[in-house]
Every structure is written in structure tokens, then in C-alpha cells.
Amino acid sequence: MRFCLNVDHIAVLRNARGEVNPDPITFALMAEEYGVDGIVVHLREDRRHINERDVRLLRETVKTKLDLEMAAVQEIIDIACDVKPELATLVPERREELTTEGGLNVIDNIEVISNTIEQLHDADIEVSLFIEPDIEQINTAAEIGADLIEIHTGIYANASSEEEMFDELEKIRIAAKHAKKLGLGVNAGHGLNYLNIKEFTSIEDIDEVSIGQAVIARSVFVGLEKAISEMRALLR
């Protein structure tokens, strides 16, 4: 399973003082050196962490893969088409949320999402849709030309009982298999950590995980190199 690191939280810390440290660009370069397969950032409409300067500098410096998480809104689409990350992951966005709260409803927003995919494809950017492990959503994602899906793992990660956790894991397994059959690439993320990743790696159809909070938080205690190599070891 490939492992991409989301560095938004480094920008949160930087912005807390309105100064330049810690710099998410330097952090991303170090993460690449320590072996991650890609760097993920979410350029939010409210710019609460990553800003446009970060995205442009990351485009110049990231050598593995840049995955830009974004809402399907014209201002951000224009930036993405100009910056050209390898991958754009479309996510729902609410200003009041602390973090992304769930998957996109592709079925109810089919026109906006199709139009966004078209614009990003015209700029040669692959498109992933962040969705729940739901067969109808996956079918619609494939129909409108998404290249990949990212399965929302928040319900699995935050399950309050083992039964709920295993039920959700099974849903994700079935969804990933179905998406693969339709020719979609399959990523997954949200809330994955050092404790819940082990069961998760039993799902063979998932190509890549996108992890932020758990690895960034651990790096504060043990350093980034160790935090990444510990996660890598669990993903193997």
C-alpha cells in the first residue's frame, strides 16, 4: 500500500503565529526523503492552513506526487489547472467544519462534479473523488469519468465498537473491490492511525492511503523520520 502524507497541520502550526515556521514546504521535502510516496495538501476556500504560495512552491519542489484536495468551486479549480498537481481529490467543504466530515454526494451534485472533472482533465490532471464506501456513489463516479476514488475511512476509524469497526471494514472491502472492477484506482483516508491501520491493510484492493494527523502528531514526539518509518512498517 502506498503512503501519502498530508502536511496541512504543519501549516496550521505555522499560521498560529502568522510567521514562517514551521514551513510545510521544508517538512514535505523531508518527508519525501524519509520515504513517503506523495504529499497531500488541502487548499481550503478559507485558507485556514495551506495557502496558494504553499501549493505553488510544493509544485516546484515535490518530486514524488502532489495530491491537491479541493472543493469543486471555480476559484480553486482555476488555481489547480494553473498549478497542475498530479492528482486533484475533490472533497466536500463546509466552513464551520473542523476537518472534512464525510464523502462527496456525487449523485446529488453530478453536474458540478462532472464539469469540474472535465476542466481538470483538460489541464491533464487526474481526478479522485472522496466518497463513502457506497456502490451507487462509486458507479456514478465511474460514469462521470473519475480516474480514482478515495474511500472515506472516518466511520471505520471512529467506530465505537469492534462490531461497527468490522462492519465498516467489510463495507470498504466490498466497495474497493467493486471500484477496481470498474477500472478505478482506489485510495483511502481519514482518521487512519498507528492502531487502526493494521486491520485495514488486509484490504488488497486499496492502492494508497492518505494520512495526516496521526503521523504529524507522532512526529512531534519521535521525529518525522521515525514517525514515517513506523507507519511504513505497519503498511507492509
Any idea of the CA torsion for 69, 71, 77, 81, to the nearest 10 degrees? 10
Among this protein's residues, is 190 annotated catalytic?
yes
Grid cell for residue 24 = 510545510
Nearer to ligand PXP, 25 or 41 (CB): 41
Q: Is residue 206 within the footprint of ligand PXP (CB under 6 A)?
A: no
- Residue 24 engages ligand PXP in binding (rule: CB under 6 A): no
Beta strands 87-90 and 126-131, pairing class: parallel
Q: How far is the CB of 190 from ligand PXP (least distance, A)?
A: 4
Per the listing, cell 518509518 goes with 229
Write each residue from 121 to 150 as x if it is in contact with ligand PXP (CB under 6 A), else as -, in one continuous string: ---------x-------------------x
- Which of 9, 32, 49, 69 is catalytic? The answer is 69
Report yes or no: 179 and 153 within 8 Å, Cβ to Cβ.
no
DSSP-derived 3-state class of residue 6: strand
Contact call for residues 126 and 148 (beta carbons, < 8 A):
yes
Q: Site residues for ligand PXP, window 68-97 (CB under 6 A)?
A: 69, 89, 91
Which of 38, 65, 100, 224 is close enough to bind ligand PXP by CB under 6 A? 100
Q: Cα–Cα distance between 231 and 193 in angstroms, integer?
A: 8
- How many other C-beta atoms lie within 10 A of the C-beta of residue 1? 18
Distances (CA, A) of 90 to 41, 71, 112: 12, 6, 11
* 200, 212, 219, 228: residue in contact with ligand PXP (rule CB under 6 A): 212
Cell (9 digits) for 225: 523520520
Marked catalytic residue, from 42, 49, 152, 178:
42
Which residue in the set 33, 45, 75, 99 belongs to the binding site for ligand PXP (CB under 6 A)?
99
Residue 52 bears catalytic tag: no
Asked if 29 and 51 touch (Cβ cutoff 8 Å), the reply is no
- Our answer to whether residue 49 is catalytic in this structure is no
Binding part of the chain for ligand PXP, among 58-66, 132-140, 212-220, 223-231 by CB under 6 A, reads 212-220
Asked if residue 219 binds ligand PXP (CB under 6 A), the reply is no
221 Cβ neighbours under 8 A, 6+ residues apart: none
Q: Is 38 an interacting residue with respect to ligand PXP (CB under 6 A)?
A: no
The catalytic site residues sit at 42, 69, 190
Residues forming contacts to ligand PXP in the complex (CB under 6 A) are: 6, 8, 42, 69, 89, 91, 99-100, 130, 150, 189-192, 210-214
